[in-house]
Structure 1
Amino acid sequence: MPFTTTPTAIADVLILEPRVFGDARGFFYESFNARDFAQATGLAVSFVQDNHSKSSRGVLRGLHYQIQHPQGKLVRVVQGEVFDVVVDLRRGSGTFGQWVGVHLSAENHRQLWVPPGLAHGFVVLSECAEFLYKTTDYWYPEHERSLLWNDPAVGIDWPIDFAPLLAAKDQAGKLLRDADWFEGEHPA
């Protein structure tokens, strides 16, 4: 198996750790292989878009989701380190309103599978971070929503001792009680 898969406290959210081949020259690993991904996760997904963001230390992006055309995301960091967070917004789920956080970095090569129906975001812990992600649906700005990053009802324990830098849409994120949710466990 080219990578190991570790489940998290939220059903369907998976940590993927690739097998990295390294020597004095550097390293190599397959960051994605559809056949191996399906075998390891039991999921047959089709990715339609790749995104790449670069952010400075202290930038917090999220917590984003699309209420229509929900996106599954396979996320990773290729430079620096982030604390990556997902919040379950699937109303019928046993983990509705709960969160999971994972350190992703260029050093640990970890990836996180974020299924549709979850809000997603990250905060940059290094001087700079480059974040890559594949999505299962396109970006539709009219359907994008933002859950407030510091909603006390969700209680995310961000590993920061500073006020994060936020975009206006993230400053205006909604509290869980006021947010749009997904009905059922798995949105279409």
Structure 2
Amino acid sequence: MSKAAKSDDAPKKKGKLPLILGLVVLLAGGGGGGYWWFAKQKAVAAAEAEDGGHGKAKSKAKKSDHAADSHDEEEVPEGGALLPLDVFTVNLADTETQRFLRTNVQLVIDADEAALKHIEEEKLPVARARSVVLDLLSSKTSAEIATAEGKAALKKEIAEKATKAVHHEVLDVLFSDFVIQY
């Protein structure tokens, strides 16, 4: 009977390891999900604060007011083709501490889909555009690009330099994410 008792104990010990690993994975996933949710809520709150605390309904009204009085802000051009430059991760030019920027840049260029396809197939214009954007981003400090005005100025500089690189006018610069590590 002692052999039977020992054989019953062995499977119980092996059964705890997958349970413990499963709990660790579950807790890690829950922690990551919680972090993501809180970070998203913080970003939404920051965006609302940047808009002056206006909700979606008020921002739509602001857009219609903007259409009536276009002297307040610069209009975003319609049309063009979207040229993705993918993700950039660069060291910023901060001297007091090392800071990083991770952003995803897309260019809206004055071209049709056939011209865009030609640019992407040629690869050299895209590589040149990535290079000038990379040089520009790494020359900036976090203080210069952390504000809305700083991002607008950065977009303007990227558009000017990328226009020369791709030999098409850059109508707009889009950031799909913009994270500065402090």
Give the TM-score taking structure 1 as reference length: 0.23
Q: Which has the larger radius of gyration?
A: 2
- Kindly indicate which of the two structures has a greater share of residues assigned to helix: 2
Higher relative contact order (CA 8 A, sep 6+): 1
- Kindly indicate which of the two structures has a greater share of residues assigned to strand: 1
